[in-house]
Structure 1
Amino acid sequence: MDCDSGMASWNPHPSDGARDTEDLEEKLRQSEELREETARKLEEETQLKVFYQGQVSQLESKLQDHEERLCSLERKMASLLEKPQLQPVVSETDKLAGQDQSKSGDSQGLVNREIKAGETCTFGLDPATIHGKLETQEDSDKGNILIKYNGDQEVVNTLGRFVGKSHTALGDVLVSGGRMYWEVDVHKSNHYRIGEHSLPAFRYEGVATKTVKRDKWIGDTKKSWCIRNNDGEVSARHNYEDCGLPLVRNPPVIGVLLDYDNAKVHFFDADSSKHLHTYEVDVSEPVRPAFQVNEGYVVVDTAVSLAKMEELLAVMDAASDSIPDVKHEASLRKTRFFNDARLTDLSKSLGKEWRQVASCLGLEKVQLDKVEINYPRDHNRQVLEGLSAWRLTMKDDDAMLEELTSCLRKGGRSDMAEKIQEEYEKSENPS
């Protein structure tokens, strides 16, 4: 009985064993999840390590490239400082021309030249002035100079070199007497200036003075004169002021004739021998050819025959003889129907339609833009100036009446056209 009762009191608790198994399985599951999480984090860290190692390698490579470029620039700078500032282009030209020239050097080693009658004067570029964005090639035998804009080129600025956006180079001669003529083929550039400086510079072709500032564009100083092309619009420019040119087409070749003795520079469309513009030049100091190229390239021909220069002067003189006396013509028109008072009344009546009417009358966009710049807040004065310029191109009142009324109607101002027609008829038949 005691044995049976003892056996009956033993209890193995099978439900507790099941719970232990579940706990172990849960711990095993959690351990597996932890292992997977650890493996995932390890993989991410490995990927980040590889990524940053790649970044470090790229930075080290870039640093090495910059160090090499810096060493290259330092070598170039040292080379430039060792070279003479000017090449003996002028003296070589004299040998080719076979003429003895009197020369006197200035502080930069440039050569003063007085161009004598019957003398052809070729020239080169002053390397100390050439902007770092310009590539140049010179053929002294042919007298040709190629000037090309290269926006990707490294710039090393030195004393005397043009800087900033004034992509300029100056000729290596200082003209102090006589006449000098050169031509520039510009048909491969749509943004240039050519002229003279009292040392010259080139945006187009022009003339510049010896003391021109090296960060200024040609035509944007009192001592530089040029023809410029600004994205297809060609004009003459001096001291920040543009002068519109009556062009049928943009000249492919610009001729520059410097008449030092008469203190003038003449610009021509050398291809058609058409005179473009003339400026009076400050000759208180020598002047230099000047070139500025902001797009494409130009080719300078310094060995143009003297016969071409004389031909252009003859064409210009003949054209000036045929120009009427504007003051006399204006005085006669004071008694005509389209007198100053009537044009003033018309200018007060034309509003926003003025531009369309002006275009119909044959006024160029550059003329209208210049008038707006000169009188920015005076619309009536802008219209008056435009009508006055148009009046000078007309033969008589009858022609003016016909053209003006037609353009007014096209501009939507038939009311003004009819009113002018009535007033004109009354003036012709006062009874």
Structure 2
Amino acid sequence: MDPESDSGMASWNPHPSGHNTHDMEQKLRQSEEAREDVERKLEEETRLKVFYQDKALQLESKLQDHEERLCSLENKMAALMEKHPIQQQQQQQVVGERVGRESQDQSVAEDSEETGIREVKVGEALTFGLDPATIHGKLDTQVDSEKGKILISYNGDQEVVNTVGRFVGKSHTALADVMISGGRWYWEVDVRKSNHYRMGVASKTVKRDKWIGDTKKSWCIRNNDGEVSARHNYDDSGLRLVRNPPIIGVLLDYDSAKVHFFDVDSGKHLQTYEVDVSEPLRPAFQVNEGCVVVNSAAGSPAKMEELLSAMDAAGDTIPDFTREASWHRNRFFNDKRMADISMLIGKQWRQVATCLGLQKVQLDKMELNHPKDHTRQVMEGLVTWRGTAKDDDEMLTELTSCLKKWDRSDLAEQIQEEHDQLTTEASEDPS
């Protein structure tokens, strides 16, 4: 029997048909296209996330502005009353103060005398307190006039009673009880216990319903949830910092119409502004969280000369490590070593930073602050980690362990070797 004539037997082909191969290739292409489409969508979602985070920050700022405008009505009414002597006299009678027909300038002068405000002169010591008529109702203050120290803390639970001249709304501000109209003056502010503050100078007639730095008559250093910048008239000047200044020095050179800001801890010049000296200027302090300590007795002619002579012309550069604070400079994990590690740590920096205890929201903010500067992102993370009051031995153990966990044993070993070498050299040094 001819096998080919047997209709009951199906022929078997050991090789798949071309049609089946084509189907498989088509499915593979479709799978690859689907994978690429998912990757594109993920990238687009990431871009949108960054975009909307930025928009949220902008909207938050605009909302703040609108809220401040709503709070300005009382202040404007008070300003109008000050322009009319009759209304001002009626207000003074209600509160039991002076009665009589006086010009506005005379009233302001007498009010200044009663509240202890004074105009300082060249050659005087600047030790100052706070003007109680300006202190926002949600600020608690303690003044040690003998030592020139002032503690200013934010108390959100307090009820606010607004009066003429007092800061209102969310401008949790107080002005010093001095008016500066000549000479050079310097004071320092310890800001280590606050992550929301503004420190600087303001004109005598600065608006009481505005944040300092958000008017033409105020200049400041600003910390907004860990992001430090210089600010004037709503304009932020970014500061290239590897760490936030723990103590801010303010040097007002009225005769040159300039105010300089310094990181006292490192001696780094932060920012210089030209100021309006058409009227007296006053030290200004805004605290929106925690507390700050003002030292008005910190200034001396010698110190001011030293700061001005050492002021870096390129004030936005990386801090000069030769002027680093001694307790950081003498540490193993000083700023220079942290910068070296930042350049070597690589793409695993987020995993390492998370292992070191940093939160995702902190890491996202670092990326937003420095979107095209990977090294600076890492540096900010390492400095934030160091700021948790760890000693070198604890830091060494924690960092090398996290590096090894994320496949950077080479860098962990390099850091360990550097530490061991320095330890050996220190033990052999007879001094």
TM-score by length of 2: 0.48
Max radius of gyration: which structure?
1
